[in-house]
Amino acid sequence: MERQIQRKPRILCLHGFRTSAEILKRQVLRWPAAVLDKLDLVFLDAPYPAQGKSGVERFFDPPYYEWFQATEDFTEYTNFEECLAFIEDNMMKSGPFDGFLGFSQGALLSAALPGMQRDGLALTRVPRIKFLIIISGAKFGGPKFAHHKLTSNAYSSPLECPSLHIIGETDFMKQESTSLLEYFVDPFVINHPKGHTIPELDEKSTEVMLGFIERIQKTMATADEQIYLNAET
């Protein structure tokens, strides 16, 4: 007999470079209650204190954090494996989680996680990622960011992980965000007129977001039903 899963999607939220969980939380919580009431959001600070000036100092107070470090041309990375282990440890402690929401550096990282998990290179001790919400995202191995050795095959085949991509018309990451779409099967997209930020959701964007939530609820129900059936056999 089909079982209906009523629980909210539990989402681990990864903030941008040299910002914080609190900053991302303040921005996301401006979304309509119709959206927020359907999600269980957990905001995580990155493991490393900012090693330089933050781009949000005029708008938000410190402390600021970063997930990993890179050379100026984004061809080499430091503390990347340690970052993955930190995220997985937190998922085991505070999970289980169904999906990720990532902004900027958090989005770059989130977008690569399903492929790395598929290949057994990351998040091997936690359940499969069921969906992503990517805000101002980009791709390792794309125009701006070189691959880390662990991401080199992350996009080798189309990612069937349901995804919602939020792209700013004046965002300096717009090209990278748009290019990322081709690596996901049937992505949902919200376009907004602003730049590198978490936008408020207008009526049209809210409809897209609610449609995406409906889709991931079905994905979760299918996955949870399979777990239930496996436990029965």
**Longest pairwise C-alpha distance within the chain:** 58
Decide if 223 is inside a domain. yes
Decide if 172 is inside a domain. yes
| Domain containing residue 216 | 10-232
Overall domain count for the chain: 1
> Can you give the pLDDT at residue 32?
97
Q: What is the pLDDT of residues 145-161, one digit of tens each?
A: 999 999 999 999 999 99
> Can you give the pLDDT at residue 134?
98
Instruction: Report phi then psi at 34, rounded to 5.
Output: -60, -30
Locate 34 and state its tokens: 């119709």
3-class SS at 113?
Answer: helix
> Can you give the pLDDT at residue 3?
47
- What CATH number is given to the structural domain containing 88? 3.40.50.1820
Decide if 1 is inside a domain. no
Decide if 4 is inside a domain. no
User: Distance from CA of residue 168 to its chain's centroid?
Assistant: 16
Decide if 218 is inside a domain. yes
DSSP tag of 191 = E
Q: What is the CA radius of gyration of the chain?
A: 17
pTM of the complete model beyond 0.85? yes
Q: What is the pLDDT of residues 30-55, one digit of tens each?
A: 999 999 999 999 999 999 999 999 99
Measured distance CA(84)–CA(198) in Å, rounded:
24
Decide if 133 is inside a domain. yes
Decide if 2 is inside a domain. no
Strand-pair partners of 191: 167
> Can you give the pLDDT at residue 197?
96
Decide if 151 is inside a domain. yes
> Can you give the pLDDT at residue 86?
98
Q: If you average pLDDT over residues 76-90, what whole number do you get?
A: 98
- In terms of phi and psi (left: phi > 0; alpha: psi -120 to 50; beta: otherwise), the region of 79 is left
Q: Are strands 69-70 and 77-78 parallel, antiparallel or unpaired?
A: antiparallel
> Can you give the pLDDT at residue 47?
98
> Can you give the pLDDT at residue 1?
37
